Amino acid sequence: VRIMATEGQRNFMAAKRKAADRVGASTRLALPSNREVEEALRAYQGFYGGNRHADNLQAMRETAIEVMRALDAFRPRLVGPVLDGTADSHSRVSLHLFNDPPETVLFHLEERGIDFHQEQRRIRWHDGTHRDIQLLVTEVNGITVELALFSLIDLRQAPPSPVDGRPQKRARLPDVEILLAAA
């Protein structure tokens, strides 16, 4: 948990292997589930994070709202650690954007002179196949924002969560605004 909380490691398996190596345990032993790690991470952040964690999370959610408003035409959805509250200073604001073709978002950013770079992420889909998702990564308010590009049909079903394999939780702009107001 500390590896994820302090070193910016967001890959559950890599963090578990690194922790096992540090304590001299075999990775063949039963390691905790991703859900157990996420719950422990939330507890760790609640205990050690204090106001700094809360302030960082608020700033990230405010940035998410700003970007979601600017990209409203692409039906943005907030996902990941900023949504679930486990984001830290190493986390990115992760947004899913939807359009046909998805690359229209790229042209939209270029037309507005917004600097970004492109990445790809391979994810396992619900049917066991892998998909390469195009990411556009930019900085807003000093916070890294990644925009994952999807087709409109992908609004129907979110990609599997790396925590439990169920469809990822996704929040629309009004939901994020309520989440921020409640904090």
Q: Which residues contact 14 (CB under 8 A, 6 or more apart)?
A: none
Give CA–CA dist 180/151, Å, rounded.
Answer: 28
Q: What is the pLDDT of residue 163?
A: 80
Q: What is the pLDDT of residue 153?
A: 94
pTM: 0.79
pLDDT digits (tens, 9 = 90+) for 44-96: 666 566 678 889 999 999 999 999 999 999 999 999 999 999 888 889 999 99
Q: Which run of H or E residues covers position 169?
A: none
Give CA–CA dist 16/25, Å, rounded.
Answer: 10
Q: What is the pLDDT of residue 157?
A: 92
Residue reference for tokens 């998702």: 133
Backbone Cα Rg of the chain: 17
Angle of CA points 155, 157, 161, to nearest 5° = 120
Q: What is the pLDDT of residue 46?
A: 61
3-state secondary structure 13-26: HHHHHHHHHHHCCC
pLDDT digits (tens, 9 = 90+) for 97-146: 999 998 999 999 999 999 999 999 999 888 889 999 999 999 999 999 99
Cβ burial, residue 149 (10 Å; 0-12/13-18/19+) = buried
Q: Among 32-41, 58-67, 145-154, whose mean pLDDT is lowest?
A: 32-41
**Which residue type occupies 167?**
P
Q: Which run of H or E residues covers position 95?
A: strand 93-98
Q: What is the pLDDT of residue 50?
A: 65
Give CA–CA dist 83/95, Å, rounded.
Answer: 10
Give CA–CA dist 123/132, Å, rounded.
Answer: 6
Q: What is the pLDDT of residue 182?
A: 87
